[in-house]
Every structure is written in C-alpha cells, then in structure tokens.
Amino acid sequence: MSQAATAPASARAPARTQRILHGPVLATLLALAAPNLVVMLAQATANFLESYYVGLLGVDALAGAALVFPLVMLMMMMSAGGIGGGISSAIARALGAGDHERADALALHAAVIATVLGLLCSALVILFARPLYALLGGEGAALDAAVAYSSALFSGVTFLWLMNGLSAVLRGAGNMRAPAWVLTGGVPGLLVLSPALIFGVGPLPALGIVGAGLALAIYYLVATLILLAVLVRGHGGVRLRRGVALRRDLFAAILGVGLWSSLNTVLSNLCVMAATFFVARTSMEALAGFGLGIRIEYLQIPIVFGFGTALVAMVGMNLGAGQAHRARRIAWTGAAVAFIATEAVGLTAAFFPEPWLRLFTDDAEAIATGALYLRTVAPAYGFLGVGLALYFASQGAGRMTWPLLGSAVRLGILIAGGSLMAWLRPGDLAALCAVMVAALIGIALVNGLPWLRQLPGGPLLKLVP
C-alpha cells in the first residue's frame, strides 16, 4: 500500500475534501449540489424544447418519442446514476481514506467500463428497436417514428456513457463544477443544432425526428472530448493516466455498486414502461398525453440527481474516513431537501397541468390524459424525491440491497395494480394513476428503512458500520 493510503486522511485531504468531512452538512450539500442543479436545469430546458420541436411534427412523432423516452432515460440513469454512481462511490471512498493513487487508477477503469457498456447498449437497441417499441404498444406511423428517432440517437449512445462516466469521476472527487461547466456549456449549441437538423436550414436538409436524435448524439460526443481533456490534464482533482494496469479489484470496486445500481435503474424504468403499456392499450392520443405528463416525473430525477451526486460523494467520503454517524445525518438531510424540491414541482404541475401540456399539443384527448395524470400523481412526487435521495445515499455507502427491494416493490405494485385495474375497470386511467401513487409511496418507505434508528439509538437495519 502506498504512503498516501497509510497517512491520516484528514491530514492530507485538500480543502474540498475537508469541507465534505467536517463542514456544516446542509451548507456543504447545497454548495456541492448547486452546479449539478444548473446542469439539470439546462438539460431539462433542452428536453423541453426538443419535445416542443418534435410536437410540431405531429401526434405520431410525439407518440413515437414517448415510446423511446423511457429507454433514453434508462441509458441516462444507468450511465450517470447506475454505473456512474458506482464510479463516484468508489472514488469518494478512496479519497476519503486518503488513497489518491487508487482514485487515479479507478478513473481509467471507469472509462473502460463506460466504453464497453456504451457499445453494447448501442448495438442491442439499434438491432432490436422495432420489436421492442412494438412490445410497448407502438404501431403504424408512431412505431416508424420511434424506430427512426431511436436509431439516430443510439448511434451515439457510447458517447453518452463516456460523458456521464467521466463526469462521475469528477463528482466522486467532490468536483461538481467541471462537469457542470462542460454539460451546461453544450446546451445552447444543442438548442441551435436540434431545430436546424429537424426542420432544415441553409444547406442542411430537414431530417424530421431523425434530426432530433442526431443532435443529441453530437452533443454527447463534444462533451466527452472536453471531459477527457480535463481529466488527462489533471484539472479535476483526479488524473486520467496512461500506463495504469487494469486490475480486477478496481473493476469490482466500481461494478460491485454500479451493476446493482444499474439493475435498480432497470427496475425503475420498467415501472414507467409498465405504466406506458397499460396506457397504450387505450389510444395513441392517450399515450401521447401520458408521455408529456410523465416527463414531469422524469424531471424529478435530474432534480434529485443534483443533490444525489453530492450525497454519493459526501456519504462515501465520510464512510471512507470512518464517520458513519455523520454519513447517516447527511442521508436524511438530503432526503428532506429532495422532498421539498420535488413536492414543489409536483404541486405546481398538479394545479396548472394544461399550460404545460398545451405547449406541445392541441389534441384534446392527449391533453385530458396528461392533465389527469398530473392532477393525480404529481402531488406524490415528494415520495419519489425521498426514495431517490436515499438511493443515492446507499450508493455512497456501497450497499444497494434495500434500494433494489424498493424498486422491486414499486414495480410489483404497478404490475399487480395495473393488471387488476385493467380487469376490473378497463380504460379507467384515474384508477391506473392511483396505482402509480401507491407505488411511489412504497419505494419511499422501503428505501428509508436501512437509514432509520431504533429508540433510544442504534441502527434498525445495519447499512453502515
């Protein structure tokens, strides 16, 4: 073991790490989360405008995008919150223990993992796009639009994996600003490129929904190249070095958390796919409206991700330094902040659903379905915020059993409840929305269990030492 690994962490830690280990919990959390929230806001704006542009192509294009959207979010969540969480957790724990050499080596292993998984996902989705979207209920022109959009976007999904993997390296070191600058800085270019490729401008032909997918792929590529430059030069607190031998234990340190986190992400997206399946059995217009409504729910994920990546770094470093009680306090502070943020968005969407929906479509049935979803489900978004925040805290702790169980409970409620409603009350979207609310409450309760205390003290379910 290197001397770096044996020296007391608190004596060697840079100022950023010292704040994470000893600074005020709420103030440090908010300071670390702020750059991430700027990124999430910028990317949410980009998603909003892309939905607007696609909506101008008609209901079929909008329905096609709704079919692809859960899979795109699956890639985002797996690369940033799944494997990315494993990357950040491993690096944070290494730095908390004072082992900078190990942290640098983990950065290279992270890049290798992101490249391999990105290529695999790209090939699988491009090869099996049509049967997959047909299974989700797509048909006719909507299915054709989904396949075209998906093929263009997934041609560059390897760069999405690398972009988020390299960002996770920096965030694990407590450096939230560098990825924030890179990812946010590319959004204005995306907002110009996307409509140019969709509708055509000058010598560029109008590519329709294919142009929307290509614009995202180009954005991922450019961001990846810039992040590589930052890490190679060592400006992010961790250096990406050549000549580092690949080691099984370092792959295991990332994948031991990352694979379980990715499975959790798959379960979370299966929840949305299950709901999409039941809604698609009514009409394509209802599916289009549901797709617009569910985007508000997906908006909660990047909001909590902003706090969550800070939670991974803070919980991981404090556990690496042997400060388990502080790690537990950090987890619940993050959960409280996430509840307030997501509940505020949910209540706003519930009280004012139609202004949001009319930005994308004038179809009466689509608007009615989206409004019903938002009025019923959005007030429960606070529970989703709590569940997601504690999921990220568990990533930092390197323990993913309870978050996996929480997502499985949510999926089970949706499948069982959705099937029951389809049998007892076919076509009743209000009943299906009530099932979605129960599922959100379920995941919050289960994810909170390992972080509770018995009275007068001590862990209820042992998660941290």
- For residue range 137-179, list pLDDT tens digits in order: 778 888 998 999 999 999 999 999 999 999 999 988 888 888 8
In a domain, 423, yes or no: yes
In a domain, 196, yes or no: yes
Helix axes 381-397, 284-320, angle to 10 degrees: 40
In a domain, 465, yes or no: no
User: Which residues touch 5 (CB under 8 Å, ≥6 apart)?
Assistant: 97, 98, 99, 101, 102
In a domain, 321, yes or no: yes
Q: pLDDT tens across 405-437, in order?
A: 999 999 999 899 888 877 877 767 788 888 889
Closest by CA position to 447, among listed 405, 398, 396 = 405
Q: CA geometry: angle at 334 spanning 296 and 398, to 5°?
A: 100
**pLDDT of res. 283:** 67
Q: Which residue shows structure tokens 């409450």?
A: 441
Low-confidence stretches of the chain (pLDDT < 70) are 1-14, 236, 282-283, 285, 427, 453-465
**pLDDT of res. 453:** 60
- Report d(CA 288, CA 125) in Å as an integer: 22
Indicate if the alpha-carbon torsion angle 63, 65, 68, 73 is positive or negative. negative
**pLDDT of res. 12:** 40
- Report d(CA 276, CA 135) in Å as an integer: 11
Peptide bond into 456 cis (omega under 30): yes
Which pTM value belongs to this model? Answer: 0.74
The 3-state secondary structure of the chain reads: CCHHHHCCHHHHCCHHHHHHHHCCHHHHHHHHHHHHHHHHHHHHHHHHHHHHHHHCCCHHHHHHHHHHHHHHHHHHHHHHHHHHHHHHHHHHHHHHCCCHHHHHHHHHHHHHHHHHHHHHHHHHHHHHHHHHHHHCCCCHHHHHHHHHHHHHHHCCHHHHHHHHHHHHHHHHCCCCHHHHHHHHHCHHHHHHHHHHHHHCECCECCCCHHHHHHHHHHHHHHHHHHHHHHHHCCCCCCCCCCCCCCCHHHHHHHHHHHHHHHHHHHHHHHHHHHHHHHHHCCCHHHHHHHHHHHHHHHHHHHHHHHHHHHHHHHHHHHHHCCCHHHHHHHHHHHHHHHHHHHHHHHHHHHHCHHHHHCCCCCCHHHHHHHHHHHHHHHHHHHHHHHHHHHHHHHHHHCCCHHHHHHHHHHHHHHHHHHHHHHHHCCCCHHHHHHHHHHHHHHHHHHHHHHHCECCCCCECCCCCC
- Report d(CA 304, CA 335) in Å as an integer: 9
In a domain, 459, yes or no: no
| Cβ burial, residue 340 (10 Å; 0-12/13-18/19+) | exposed
- Report d(CA 409, CA 442) in Å as an integer: 7
In a domain, 460, yes or no: no
Full domain range(s) for residue 323: 15-451
The domain tally of the chain equals: 1
Half-sphere exposure of 354 (CA within 13 A, CB side): 5
| Cβ burial, residue 251 (10 Å; 0-12/13-18/19+) | middle
In a domain, 464, yes or no: no
Joined together, the tokens standing for residue 141 give: 């022109």
In a domain, 456, yes or no: no
